[in-house]
Amino acid sequence: MRNFRYVLAALLVAAAPAAQAKVLTVCLEGAPEIFNPELTNSGTTMTVLGQIYDGLVSVSRGGSTLEPALAESWSVSKDGLTYTFKLRHDVAWQSNAAFKPTRPFDADDVIFTFDRMTDPKNPYHDVSGGNYPTFNAKLKGNIAKITKVDDYTVAFTLKKPDAAFLGTMSHGSLGMTSKEYADAMAKAGTPEKFDQDPIGTGPFRFQAYQTDSMVRLIPFKGTWGAKIGDKNRTPEVDAVVMAISGDASVRLQRALAGECLISLYPNLSDKAQIDKAPNLEAVRTKVPSTGFLHFNVKKKELENVKVRRALAEAIDMKSLVKVVYNGMGHVTGAVVPPSLWGFAKDIGPYKYDPEDAKKLLAEAGYPKGFSTDLWAIPVSRPYMPNGKRAAEMIQADWAKIGVKANIKTYEWAEYIKRAQHHEADVAMFGGIYDFPDPSQILNNYLSCSADGTPAPSNIGSWCDPKFNKLLREAGAITDKAKRTDLYHQAQEEVHAQVPVVVLGGADTITAVNKSVHGFVPAVFGSSRFSGVTVQ
């Protein structure tokens, strides 16, 4: 707490004149692992980058409809294969000490952004690891070509129809990046700075990052939202200071002390305390999300579906949800959450039956059980508000059937990196829907490409031909009823094969200081701090 106050005080002084500065302080639950949106699909990181970068399409503020962003309009060909985007004119790029733009955003930037992800020969393709989670999971292999029609018109031609294409384009990880900036950093021999010192078109620009401690953003007065008079896209404060703390209790204490005016993801059990605080409001949001317990099917014991089923049946899910989600969660076996179309309400959780679980283990050749590592998510997310407590409950449940779970965890960025490299035996993971289409979580966390490569967030390496075929069929049509049926079948396959146990999800709460006005938590994607004022 002392260190935080010292650093915060120093940053407030930097926002001269300090007496007049309006600083929005935000308690963030984890550190950004990179500063280029294409290289991540972490919701924590997107909270930061969503203030800096814009995509062609976005989701309405606090809503669920798609709306224009850097593309002011778009059209779709009759065959559903070509999407033509008309780009905004006179959209300014931000600048920093190493780069001053000489031109506005245009079609060349769109082409560069996607060429980096699609073309292995692009000089930036392998910079910073070359892993593009959302693109690889949702678009890779289906883009036939991207055409620059003119300086402000770009056409995307697909190999096959994709009903979720526009929704995917609204994902924060497909934010537009500057080709001119990339060229400048490559010429300087420092291409890695392109991903470390962000340049976007959004309402705030990057000023400083203290590793695992704090991110500071300042207004970008030239942002296009301000130019067109959109108050929701206009910066209204002198700075946004994001204090990083993985401990929800610490974030709450900072909110109560007035050190953080917005505190993300406090413990759900702290809602009553927030309600009683004279300076705070607990803002509740129905965020569609799904939490999983992934089984690494490449591990010896876990490749057997009977073992996975046994571990699922050994978890007292009703008790876990009641305790961990503090009465605001839902017990379900469906991957798609209840708040989103495509939810399979007839797919319930696995029965809680420790005796049957023991029989299944014996049938699989493990009558005395075995040992495994259980990774506990280190940050509070809507799909898992308290990973440590959940892991302890699962550990106790599995001990009853002879399975010893060794709980492990890492700092959030390291956790994501290691999990996506398939290092875990069993690990908590999950996602928040960034756009209103059920395909997102199914594709990102459970699918594989045609060549058998797991999607980046498919940390259990589960590749099921039937499941992937259903996803491909659902993505190639626009009939909502037919898509719903296919997604239902896909969820049934997940339930039968047990690559994951659905841990559920819950409404989220945000502790917001009563001096803050105009803050609307996002339902899909990341919340915006533009349009927010402090009084």
In the chain, ranges of CATH 3.10.105.10 domains: 289-504
Interaxial angle between packed helices 439-446 and 465-475, expressed in degrees from 0 to 180 and rounded to the nearest 10: 150
Q: How far is Cα 494 from Cα 347, in angstroms, rounded to an integer?
A: 10
Task: List C-alpha distances in Å: 356 to 293, 306, 448.
Answer: 20, 11, 31
Is residue 511 within 8 A of residue 482, CB to CB? The reply is no
Residue among 221, 188, 216 nearest 202 (CA): 221
Give 3-state DSSP helix, strand, coil % of the chain, rounded to 5: 35, 20, 45
Q: Which residues pair with 244 in a beta bridge?
A: 28
Please report the sign of the dihedral spanned by the C-alpha atoms of residue 35, residue 40, residue 45, residue 48: positive
Residue type at 338?
P
Give 1-52+202-285+508-535's CATH code, choosing from 3.10.180.10, 3.40.190.10, 3.20.20.100, 1.10.240.10: 3.40.190.10
Question: Hey, what CATH topology would domain 289-504 get?
Answer: Dipeptide-binding Protein; domain 3 (3.10.105)
Neighbouring CB atoms inside 10 A of 23's CB total: 19
Residue 165 structure tokens:
């294409």
- Indicate the DSSP class of residue 455: P
**Residue 135 Cα distances to 178, 307, 365, 372, angstroms:** 18, 33, 40, 32
Distance of CA 452 to the CA centre of its chain: 24
Interatomic CA distance for residues 128 and 359, integer angstroms: 47
Alpha-carbon torsion, ordered 214, 422, 456, 309, to 10 deg: -110
DSSP secondary structure of 326-364: TTSB-----SS-TTSTT--TT--PPP--HHHHHHHHHHT
pLDDT in tens for each of the 535 residues of the chain? 445 554 555 454 444 444 467 999 999 999 999 999 999 988 899 999 999 999 999 999 988 899 999 999 999 999 999 999 999 999 999 999 999 999 999 999 999 999 999 999 999 999 999 999 889 888 998 999 999 999 999 999 999 999 999 999 999 999 999 999 999 999 999 999 999 999 999 999 999 999 999 999 999 999 999 999 999 999 999 999 999 998 989 999 999 999 999 999 998 889 999 999 999 999 998 888 899 999 999 999 999 999 999 999 999 999 999 999 887 888 899 999 988 899 999 999 999 999 999 999 999 999 999 999 999 999 888 889 899 999 999 999 999 999 999 999 999 889 999 999 999 999 999 988 888 899 989 998 999 988 899 998 999 999 999 999 999 999 888 889 999 999 999 999 999 999 999 997 778 899 999 999 999 999 988 899 999 999 9
Which part of the chain has CATH 3.40.190.10? 1-52+202-285+508-535
Q: What is the distance between the alpha carbons of residues 95 and 88, in angstroms, rounded to a whole number?
A: 19
Amino acid at 111: I
Locate CATH 3.90.76.10 in the chain.
Answer: 54-192
Q: Which CATH architecture does the domain made up of 54-192 adopt?
A: Alpha-Beta Complex (3.90)
pTM: 0.79
Element (H, E) at 66: strand 66-68
Q: Over 112-170, what HEC string results?
A: HHHHHHHCCCCCCCCHHHCCCHHHHHHCCCCEEEEEEEECCEEEEEECCCCCCHHHHHC
Ramachandran region, residue 326 (left: φ > 0; alpha: ψ -120 to 50; beta: rest)? left
CB atoms within 10 A of CB 357: 27
Q: How far is CA 485 from CA 308, 342, 438, 468, in A?
A: 26, 8, 12, 15
